[in-house]
Amino acid sequence: MKYNFAILGAGSIAQRMGETVQKTDIVNGYAVASRDLSRAQKLADKYGFDKAYGSYDEMLADPAVDLVYIATPHVFHASQIEQCLRAGKHVLCEKSFTINADQARRVTALAQEKGLLLAEAIWPRYMPMAKTLREFAAGDKIGKIHSLTANLGYPVYHRERLHDRSLGGGALLDVGIYPLTFVSLILGDEVTEICSSAKLSETGVDTFENIVFTYASGAQASIFSSVTCPTDRRGVVYGEKGYAEVGNVNNYEYLRIYNTDHELIEETLCPPQVTGFEYELAACAEAISNGWTQCPDAPHEMSITMMELMDKIRSPWGLEYPEL
């Protein structure tokens, strides 16, 4: 069965999802909703969706809608997730899932209560390369892992939602989630100590930060994220018998493993993609078919843990977001 898929929001990330739906046969591109009907209609026409709505309420009242993809700024996510779930719709919500852990706990509890799927669209979690990285981390190809570094940065601070605190702006929620996800895949989530520093803008949001995690195993992770400068986007893992390099922690391109003599001993490349979003779509379709309220690759506990970590990271900075 192909589920009727709707997109809530018509920004740039919605365009990429529209392309994914159009170029795959996973779900039926059914509806687009925006507060501006002309924007919804333009996106629907471009990617072959059946309907366009000028309000979210109108789209959610359509009984034919099965699964809603939320593609709005993250400050709106919690309220829109609740709105969708109360309308009886399954939900795939863009990262960052919410703006704090309390919201994440609230919406996941509601999904469980309603018996509906709620999944975070943190796309690297669903990719085949994520499984490759987990298997690598569990193996012994570079011996015991002592540390890793990961970074992600883009010069995108000029975009309104990134410098506006009322829209959940800042580097951590928008780009920092990706190196944090990479670190989680490799080292897990038993973080025992967090040290961080951030550069705050005149609007009060973080433009870049450096974060160091210490784990129960004794390993450490060093993370840098930025919305004011480009970075090489690499993740590097250091072990007793060698090290490994991962290209692009936002969309894993390769895993290269080196020995202590800096010789390349193994390389795994990312399989061909449509857009990379197809994996989360397929995971949602599978979950709905099986009656699951969460996707195994990105369970609710993972989303809550990530939000808890980000709450702890930004707490010393004094960065809080207004509740909507």
Active site residue ranges:
95
The phi and psi torsions of 306 (rounded to 5 degrees) equal: -65, -40
Angstrom CA distances, 214 to 175, 192, 211, 222, 241, stand at: 21, 6, 10, 9, 21
Query: Which candidate, 2, 272, 238, places its Cα nearest to that of 141?
Result: 238
Query: Which candidate, 235, 206, 240, 215, places its Cα nearest to that of 223?
Result: 235
SS3 310: helix
What is the rounded CA–CA span in Å between residue 137 and residue 145? Answer: 8
Residue-by-residue DSSP string for 244-271:
EEEE-TTS--EEEEEETT--EEEEEEPP
The phi and psi torsions of 48 (rounded to 5 degrees) equal: 75, 30
What does the block give as tokens for 215?
């784990």
Q: Each residue of 94-104: b (16+ CB within 10 Å) or e?
A: bbbbbbbbebb
Give every CB contact of residue 181 below 8 A, 6+ residues apart in sequence: 122, 124, 125, 249, 306
278-289 vs 12-23: helix crossing angle, rounded to 10: 70
SS3 98: coil
Is the peptide bond between 96 and the residue preceding it cis, with omega within 30 degrees of 0? Answer: yes
Query: Which candidate, 132, 86, 103, places its Cα nearest to that of 303?
Result: 103
